Amino acid sequence: MAQLFPEQQHSAQQKLAQQLFEQQFQRVAELVCYAPGRVNLIGDHTDYNDGFVLPTAINYGTTIAASTREDNLVKVYAHDCDQQTNEFSLNEISFDQQMMWSNYVKGTLQALIKKHHDIKGANLVVTGNVPQGAGLSSSASFEIAILKAFSQLYQLDLDGISAALIGQQAENDFVGCNCGIMDQLISAMGQQGHAMLLDCKDLSFEDAPIPANLTLFIVNSNVKRGLVDSEYNLRREQCEQVAEHFGVSALREVSLTQLNADKEHIDPELFKRARHVISENARAVATLKALKNNDMATISVAMKESHASLRDDFEVTTKELDGLVEMIAKVLGAKGGVRMTGGGFGGCVVALVPTTMVEQVKDVVENNYEKEFGLKPSIYICTATQGAFR
């Protein structure tokens, strides 16, 4: 049933969803559920290479108020979208070229009914505060919230890992984005106050507390990104080509020594892509250890190297992201870490900032970013929250 949230904004979102539900459907919702967005501390473009990622679930997310229906119809009211209502039958799910947001619901339910045949329709109201297209996984939090709603409405035997796989399947097979498992898995299985080192090969994970003296500081460059439109799928293909070159299933199985030894036989661009992935895996693992030891100097270097690798080898940063990282790094020195986060091509940077330095970092961003790049930054001070299925 209705979940309690640590943050006041969540309870406001919950109330709003309930009110909207009553307006739309003239009755009280049977339940309200919630799934968080995420920020990735380190380990980007590694998940679809069977590698390591280190994300946390954040206190921005998607809330759904829901009730069962007797028939197979799904009626959705999406409060934050331009065209707000969509209706379809579970018996006939097809891609919607006009109302793109509805495809997340459709894709998720299409994947869900493959395993759970006996669900019926639902009335749904959706609202959320994850900025869209910012690289903070608004879509994964949407998918996981849908799955949480259906699993509660129909008492499904659905755990967090299975839910994450279904969400990923919706993206891969229906929406058309070949994303990895990170976003859905952390939205489902994040642990409050912790980051999660996830091994994307076998989906085992380990939580590490975020040291109490650090603040999760996120800046949206407000350069809009779209994973499907961007070169995301191309990057994935390039990685797969190198894995194939080595005769293995994923780049996870290739070491830096092996890669370097075969440099002459690999296209220079593909070589750089693979070097990023392999070195980034090592940085994610090292950062987990450093987090556990509150070893900020090591975290700082790892985040710096990660950004440089995403910029130079993987080529997914933008001048705005590079600029933000540079101005924040200058203030933080070895006392904190900063890098771009997520898929890239715009979106956000994430910084681990000693709480005593938050105001200073905020000032630097507010005084310089717009001046240099002509875009207003959005700053999110976040906490690590609990996943929907944990």
Residues in touch with ligand GLA (CB under 6 A): 40, 44-45, 47-48, 179-180, 182-183, 227, 342-343
Q: What span, in angstroms and rounded, lies between the C-alpha atoms of 231 and 227?
A: 7
184, 196 Cβ separation under 8 angstroms: no
Q: Give 211: exposed, middle or buried? Use CB within 10 Å, 0-12, 13-18, 19+.
A: middle
Could you identify the residue written with the tokens 């755990």? Answer: 159
Nearer to ligand GLA, 47 or 313 (CB): 47
> Which of 44, 47, 183, 313 is labelled catalytic?
183
Which residues does 264 contact at the CB level (< 8 Å), separation at least 6?
Answer: none
Nearer to ligand GLA, 183 or 199 (CB): 183
Burial 107-140 (b: 16+ CB within 10 A, else e): bbbbbbbeebeebebbbbbbbbbbbebbbbbbbb
Residue 147 DSSP SS3: helix
**Nearest distance in Å: CB 273, ligand GLA:** 13
**Nearest distance in Å: CB 87, ligand GLA:** 28
**Nearest distance in Å: CB 236, ligand GLA:** 8
Nearer to ligand GLA, 170 or 182 (CB): 182
Q: What span, in angstroms and rounded, lies between the C-alpha atoms of 381 and 215?
A: 7
Sequence-separated contacts (24+) of 77-86 with Cβ below 8 Å: 77/20, 77/21, 77/24, 77/124, 77/125, 77/126, 78/102, 78/126, 78/127, 79/16, 79/17, 79/20, 79/125, 79/126, 79/127, 80/126, 80/127, 80/128, 80/132
202 counts as catalytic: no
Nearer to ligand GLA, 38 or 148 (CB): 38
Around Cβ 35, how many Cβ atoms within 10 Å? 32
Could you identify the residue written with the tokens 């939580």? Answer: 207
Strands in the chain per DSSP E: 31-42, 52-68, 73-78, 85-89, 122-128, 194-199, 204-209, 214-220, 337-340, 348-354, 378-382
Q: What span, in angstroms and rounded, lies between the C-alpha atoms of 324 and 329?
A: 8
Amino acid of residue 190: G
Write out the catalytic residue numbers. 183
